[in-house]
Structure 1
Amino acid sequence: MTSVAIRLKELEEDELEEFIELWCERVGSGYEFVERIGKANDKGRDVIGFLTQAKHEGPWHLYQCKRKTRGSALGAPEALGELGKVFHYHSQGAYRTMPEKYVFVAPRGVTGPLQDLIFNPSDLKAALIANWDDYCAGSITQRRKIPLSPELKALIEGYEFGKVSHLSAAGLAKHPASLKALTQVLGLPPGDAPVGAAPDLLQAEEMEYIDQLRQVYGEARGTPFATADDVLADGMHGDHLREQRNRFFDATSFRLFHRDNTSVEALVEFEAEVHHGVVDVYRLPYGTRLERVGAVMRHASTMTCAIKGKLARIPVRQGMCHHLANEGLMKWIP
């Protein structure tokens, strides 16, 4: 993760905001939706995670991205200035509620004095009030200075500063919610999808290709199988069908992982690559349809299909062929 953290420190402002937007979509905080603002007149907000449809009239989290130059950590003066914006714009009605969580995203870290303030919330509150004239009054807007009015002071005194935290490059690099952002923003290859295994009971989602294979096995045996359960109980074809089910669900796990952590577009490209890789083998003449299934499985095992540079394991490539059959693109019973 060290090299990943280094690359995170080099992100430009727009890239960092995009990274955090993707990170928020995957972080598992129960966000109803995520909004990226991060531009001039953002009123102190770069990326927002809304927890309800009430948006700014309900609970929300704020992620303030602070990209610094090489070797420069986020310091207390700039951090206090950003906090001041939130209280000011809240007082002006830009958002009806204050954020339930305020996170400084500082890839290069925070200075020791700022860390001490964040770790001691009452000190952070006192520092914002004491240093308002120096760090906030002139930095909130270029049009005029914003004095610490009694209203603003009351808002600050009533806020729980334990809600303020920070994220560094090291923390982002090892966080599981970063996988999609690392792939899309940094172009890193995705990790390995968890291995999928077939449940004991047949599932509705697999019944299309299972029924096709039921007919394939019946043709090979010379007498039809009435149900898929009859195939599974058969001494010759039962184990073969169990292998196909495991491959199908391994490919299902692969699909879900890359849909959530890579991109839908990359997954579509991968599935098309599998299809184009096996379809010519599928179309060859065979003595039985079971021979066709076997030939396609063998060929799929030799292909070098990858997603974002990451080679898919053999059962995934094979299982994807059953998904193609399931979806009618390459049926085992044409």
Structure 2
Amino acid sequence: MSLATPPNASNGAPDLVDFPVPPAAGSPDSALPGPPVPPAHRIYFYSPDEWEIFITEWATGVAVSYRQIKQLGGSGDRGVDVAAFKTDQGLEGAWDCFQAKHYDGSLTLSDAFPEMLKIFHGVVDAFYRLPDRYVFVAPRGCGPTLNRLLSKPTELRKKFLELLDARGAATRLYDEQALQSIRELAEALNFSMFQSLELNEMLDVHRKTPYYAARFGTALPARPPVGRAPEHPAPGEATYVKKLVDVYEEQDPTSCFDSSSVAAHAKYGPHLQRQREAFYSAEALRLYARDSVPDGTYELLQDDVYTGVIDTADANHDSGLDRLRAVLAQSGQLDLGAHALISVSKLQDRQGICHQLANADKLTWVAADE
């Protein structure tokens, strides 16, 4: 994905790039049921790379509207592990920096000082503009001294300048001109941009993202009730509703010629309404999946339903109604237990997925030669 890629059009979430996307729940590589240990304890055993991925997931759930979130850690990262961009300008626009530190103990000032030097040097070297926030993110948090300094920006700046002037080991990576430029920048800066995050705060936010259940092996959140289909088909229903009208017209060509006439039909009107209710139930499941499981999870379920019913749809049938009934019946017989969404789905959703597939022109009830 390029830097200018806009937010995901389906849900407004920022793109997560340059790191492995979490597997969609229900895929062969997914392992939703995890060991019965608290999420925080599992995080303690993460590798540094996995910790950075967790931070990118967490960042999708914060209140700030990020355009894009990138994992930049590694050799030559210029002190930026995870960058969250607020504009399409990336590092040249407004952004937040998350410095990932996965240590066995709490962060100390001696851990933080070299990283602060890096970010200042990146600015004076014109590699990026100063971030709005520079946040230390460590599973075991910051030690008392660093926590106190982060809570008192004036004292933190004073301590930083003292360490800078002492010319210790961390400063030996830079020449005198660079150190002087760093000092001038630091003197003029409000150090409130330097912050830290507690793991419990991160988990509270991560819990609201689509990644939480898949990452920690927890139950999916409760699914909201499904509302009734509107009285009249919406424009987005046109394709599958027309295919249903074809089914009813084949049975009763005199009385069934459009959706309105079918809706008024004593026999086929209720049948059409049931199909529309199923379609809207599946749409509700799709929207639920968008906010509750990783991207692609719902599409994997759709793909398996299609694979499970297409042979039935392609078989010879006496009528389009027989084909429709056979496909809907087959959808209820499919073994979809490997899919995480099955735990919050119902038979009506499977039938609705068949109508979504018809809406996408992947299924048709009345064959051309019938």
Q: TM-score, normalised by structure 1?
A: 0.82
What is the aligned partner in structure 2 of residue 118 from structure 1? 150
Indicate yes or no: 2:49 matched with 1:8.
Answer: no
Distance in structure 1 (CA, Å) of the matches to 2:85 and 2:207:
17
Counterpart selection for 1:316 from 349, 365, 369? 349
The alignment of Structure 1 onto Structure 2 pairs a total of residues equal to 329
Whether the aligned pair in 1 keeps the contact of 2:109 and 2:145 (CA below 8 Å) is: yes
Once the two structures are superposed, residues 12-54 of structure 1 have per-residue CA deviations (whole angstroms, 9 ceiling, x without a partner) of 1111222323443564633332322101221110111222233
The one of 99, 113, 135 aligned to 1:80: 113
1:290 aligns with 2:305: no
CA distance in 1, matches of 2:134, 2:338: 35
202, 205, 224: which one pairs with 1:175?
205
Q: Which amino acid aligns with 1:211?
A: K
Look up the match of 1:129. 161
Per-residue deviation at 1:222? 5.2
Structure 1 distance, partners of 2:338, 2:181, is 55
Alignment of 1:262-301 (within 5 A): 262-283=293-314, 286-301=317-332
Residue in structure 1 matched with residue 130 of structure 2 by the alignment: 98
8 Å Cα contact 1:215/1:224 also seen in 2: no
Cα distance in 2, alignment partners of residues 187 and 133 from structure 1: 49
**Secondary structure, in 3 states, of the residue corresponding to 1:49?**
strand
Rate the CA distance shift 1:120–1:281 in 2: closer, same or farther, 3 A: same
Q: Deviations over 1:280-317 (max 9, x none)?
A: 44345555433433343333234332565442512322
Aligned equivalents of 1:109, 1:257: Cα separation in 2: 33
Counterparts of 1:122 and 1:201, CA distance in 2? 63
Deviation at 1:2, TM superposition (A): 7.0
Counterpart residue type for residue 325 of structure 2: G
Q: Structure 1 residues 85, 303: closer, same or farther in 2, change over 3 A?
A: same
Q: Would the alpha carbon gap of residues 296 and 77 (structure 1) be closer, same or farther in structure 2, given more than 3 Å must change?
A: same
Query: How big is the shift at 1:62?
Result: 0.7
* C-alpha contact (below 8 Å) 2:58/2:206 kept by paired residues: no
Distance 1:200 1:177 in 2: 36
User: In structure 2, what residue type is equivalent to 1:40?
Assistant: S
Say yes or no: does 1:35 pair with 2:35. Answer: no
When the two chains are superposed, the root-mean-square deviation of aligned CA atoms in Å is 3.4
d(CA) in 2 for partners of 1:5, 1:53: 33
Larger RCO (CA under 8 A, 6+ residues apart): 2
Q: Which amino acid aligns with 2:130?
A: M
2:170 is the alignment partner of 1:139:
yes
Between the aligned partners of 2:256 and 2:320, the Cα distance in structure 1 is: 15
Q: 1:208 to 1:126 in 2, by over 3 A?
A: same
Q: CA deviation at 1:5?
A: 2.4
Query: Paired residue for 1:252?
Result: 283
- How far 1:178 moved relative to its partner? 6.4
C-alpha distance in 1, partners of 2:176/2:261?
A: 78
Change beyond 3 A, Cα 1:330–1:157: same
User: Which has a greater percent of helix?
Assistant: 1
Q: Equivalents in 2 of 1:30, 1:36: separation in Å?
A: 17
Displacement of 1:322: 0.7
Distance 1:210 1:64, change over 3 A: same
Distance in structure 2 (CA, Å) of the matches to 1:101 and 1:150: 23
Q: CA deviation at 1:241?
A: 2.4
Which is worse superposed, 46-55 or 263-272? 263-272
State the identity %: 27
Residues 267 and 307, structure 1, Cα contact 8 Å, conserved in 2: no
SS at match of 1:34: strand
Q: Which runs of 5+ in 2 are unaligned?
A: 1-35
Change (3 A) 1:326 1:60: same
How far 1:321 sits from its partner (Å)? 0.6
Gaps of 5+ in 1: none
1:215 matched to 2:250? The reply is no
